[in-house]
Chains A and B, each alone.
Chain A
Amino acid sequence: MTVQFPALALILLFPLIGVVFNMFFGSRSGRGAVNLVGPGVMFAAFAVATWAFLTLLKLPPGGSLVAPLWGWIEGGPFHVEFGLRVDALSGVMVMIVTGVGSLIFLYSVGYMAEDEDFARFFTYMNLFALSMLILILADNLLMMFVGWEGVGLCSYLLIAFWYTDPQFAYNGRKAFVVNRIGDAGFLLAIFTTAATLGSHGVWTLNFVELHNNAALLGGAAATAICVLLFIGATGKSAQIPLYVWLPDAMVGPTPVSALIHAATMVTAGVYMIARLGFLFTMAPSALDLVAAIGAITATFAATIAIVQPDIKKVLAYSTISQLGYMFLGVGTGAFASGIFHVMTHAFFKGLLFLCAGSVMHALGGEQDMNKMGGLRRKLPITFATMFIATLAIAAIPPFSGYFSKDLILEAAYESGHTWLWLLGVITAGLTSFYMFRLIFMTFFGDSRVDSEKEHHIHESPPVMAIPLIVLAILATVGGWVNLPDGWLWGNAFVRFLTPAVGTFKPIVEANLTSTSMPLVASLIGIVLAYVLYIRLPGLPFLLAWRLKAPYDLLLNKYYIDQIYNVVVTRPLFWVSYYVLDRAVDSYMIDGAAEGAGLAVLTSGQVARRAETGNVQHYAFVYLLGALGIVAYYLFLVTGR
């Protein structure tokens, strides 16, 4: 059932107002106005989104709200509308983005209180929110791509927000370039879709019409499109092999890391695959690829996270790992559980980053966990909320992460991906290990804070603490919307989403071992972290020294950056400089341009000698011409 709901446009309009205001009037109207407008428009958008979501809930399952705005591209039979659509899937995403977004915007007010460039910051943040909402509300692939590119741009702008540091600017460019590689895949997928459907006489990129005409895309075309789309998703959602930009993106302001590089933008790939779930279901091999890459990424990133000393780096790799879980979820065909994890992850990972930001704020920007410790009494709110988030990400019941992660692993097991399920279980153990390592190193033990920073330690102001508390509540109860079957309202979330995204056919029965293993792994991880970092604090150093080779391998992130540098970046730079710049640009292109000029100049030097300025020479040439014409008429035309 489809209902017209023009107010959807307001969800985009509010952030747009924020962009325009902050861009043109922000620095002139001062900090107060920016602090009011920046987060204010997000809360307004959240209010409209809530209204839309409540309207959606009243519709029968599978219903949707639409707001066709205007015709966008008209090219013969091919036409694209600029239209918005909210169904169960985009409804949930809009609620996440505007809801978590509002809280993080509010937090930013406190976090950026010392920064002179607050207007630029909120301009970019609002622009990000606008792009992300376009991505989510889009009712066709092309419009989704517009949002997709927009969030990529904002991500670049915000990573390189403190652009005076060349390293930060470099990391911004790195993120942008790596994302472009993925975007190329997405774009090719759009072209392939349009071309394949067009050859059957169906010219559309609209999701609903794509769904209705999906059968026209044969198996091969569907597989090609899905693999290309997944390449796009690996770029945006930081999966192997294109994850390398995300850890470097942590140089941006912490609210940016929380909002863009944890809670919302990086989940765009998961959303895109869930949105096009009907296509992926037609291409089981592509779906298996998604699941495999997801599970491998989850384990891979988690192993890196266990040795990183930088608090934000740990969280960055943790984000990559959790995104791997989401891809494992959608890759097994359990789209609803993937999106469920997107939601709970937005709560607890957003919270974790904000807490890390709060810690850094208290310690004057310190990110090295070796220089923290014993902060739990000095930062009680941060400690309490971060501990809740850690319990959630470590999947300890009844916190939110437990329900979503459990659902994904259950789907992996039931759909017969036993090896991937095992990787997921191992990752669960690694996750709780590195997260509790982070907690223990930061908040427990003796203080290792530099002495001159020691007395500056202070709890964050209320404007930062309130979002922490709200998110902590959400991270606790957020998972309760989808309880195991038979408890209270049961799996309400999955039942709500399934009509919009579809689901998978279980082939293996889940049993007690399979359902309890992830929890056991998590508990083992916690105990290990407790033993290593509380009971025997010297042991980690001993282990690092004894197992130097594997430790260094993990500390240096498997040397992936170095390998990419040698295999991809350097050759590209070499080709760009020596072949494209020196040879092609300097010799061929410049040579052609300058050669053309030189040829004209030289021939002009010769030809101008004819211009003697002597009128008699001209008269003589004129005479010859006249005689020539006369001769022509006499001998050729009259034929005598």
Chain B
Amino acid sequence: MIPLTYMMSLSAIIFAIGVAGVIIRRNILVMYMSIELMLNAVNLAFVAIGSRLGSMDGQVIVFFVMTVAAAESAVGLGIIISSFRNRDTVHADDLTLMRW
């Protein structure tokens, strides 16, 4: 049986990668993918702790998260495409209309 520490460590590492991706990468699509990475890192933690405690709650919440993530990706991708069509860019540095 894989120790919980391993799973939690993996989850933390994936989450950190996601955070770094959101903050460092300039391409919105990649930032978007990094967000998905963070969500899945959290899912992993839920499932791991759920199985360790012998409770179904963790898995139930993961389903919710996946549903929301699916909906969110539909909306988010729509925004990105529309933004690309209007501005010809997917670069976060160029999308700074709401500045001083």
Contacts and interface: CB of A to CB of B under 8 A. Distances in A.
Interface of A: 608-609, 611-616, 619-620, 623
A68 B21 CA distance: 86
Contact of A619 (B22, B93, B95): B22
Interface in B1-49: 19, 22-24, 26, 31
B53 interface: no
Interface string B72-100: 00000000000000000000110111111
B92 A613 contact: no
Nearest to A612: B99
Nearest to A610: B100
Contact of B100 (A608, A615, A620): A608
B23 A623 contact: yes
B97 A613 contact: yes
17 contacts: A609-B100, A611-B98, A611-B99, A612-B96, A612-B100, A613-B96, A613-B97, A613-B99, A613-B100, A614-B92, A614-B99, A615-B92, A615-B95, A616-B24, A616-B26, A619-B22, A623-B23
What 8 A-B pairs are tightest by C-beta distance, nearest first? A613-B99, A613-B96, A608-B100, A613-B98, A611-B100, A614-B96, A620-B23, A612-B99
B15 to A, nearest CB: 11
Contacts of A608: 100
Contacts of A609: 100
Contacts of B100: 608-609, 611-613
Interface of B: 19, 22-24, 26, 31, 92-93, 95-100
Contacts of B22: 616, 619
Contacts of A619: 22-23
A611 B97 CA distance: 11
Contacts of B96: 612-614
B99 A616 contact: no
Nearest to B100: A608
A629 to B, nearest CB: 15
Given A609-B100, A611-B100, A614-B99, 14 more contacts: A611-B98, A612-B99, A613-B96, A613-B97, A613-B98, A614-B92, A614-B93, A614-B96, A616-B23, A616-B24, A616-B26, A616-B92, A619-B22, A623-B19
Nearest to B20: A623
A219 B25 CA distance: 92
Nearest to B28: A615
A208 to B, nearest CB: 73
A617 to B, nearest CB: 9
A616 B94 CA distance: 12
A614 B97 CA distance: 8
Contacts of B92: 614-616
Contacts of A620: 23
Contacts of B99: 611-614
Contacts of B93: 614
A608 B100 CA distance: 6
B26 to A, nearest CB: 8
Nearest to B22: A619
A613 B31 CA distance: 16
A430 B46 CA distance: 115
Contacts of B98: 611, 613
A364 B95 CA distance: 85
Contacts of B31: 616
Contacts of A614: 92-93, 96, 99
Contacts of B26: 616
Nearest to B97: A613
Contacts of B95: 615
A619 to B, nearest CB: 6
A602 to B, nearest CB: 14
A616 B95 CA distance: 11
Contacts of A613: 96-100
B47 to A, nearest CB: 22
A600 to B, nearest CB: 15
A608 B98 CA distance: 11
Contacts of B97: 613
Contacts of A612: 96, 99-100
A609 B26 CA distance: 21
B36 to A, nearest CB: 15
A619 B95 CA distance: 14
A295 B99 CA distance: 82
A623 B93 CA distance: 19
Contacts of A616: 22-24, 26, 31, 92
A613 B94 CA distance: 10
A623 B19 CA distance: 8
A608 B96 CA distance: 14
Contacts of A623: 19, 23
A469 B63 CA distance: 111
Contacts of A615: 92, 95
A609 B96 CA distance: 13
B75 to A, nearest CB: 16
Nearest to B35: A619
Contacts of B23: 616, 619-620, 623
Nearest to A607: B100
A614 B26 CA distance: 10
Nearest to B94: A614
A627 to B, nearest CB: 10
A358 to B, nearest CB: 79
A608 to B, nearest CB: 4
Nearest to A604: B100
Contacts of A611: 98-100
Nearest to B25: A616
B91 to A, nearest CB: 11
A619 B25 CA distance: 12
A575 B92 CA distance: 63
A606 to B, nearest CB: 11
B41 to A, nearest CB: 15
Contacts of B19: 623
Contacts of B24: 616
A621 to B, nearest CB: 10
A437 to B, nearest CB: 84
A630 to B, nearest CB: 12
A619 B92 CA distance: 12
A305 B26 CA distance: 98
A442 B19 CA distance: 108
B23 to A, nearest CB: 5
A537 to B, nearest CB: 91
Residue from A609, A613, A620 having most chain B Cβ neighbours under 10 A:
A613
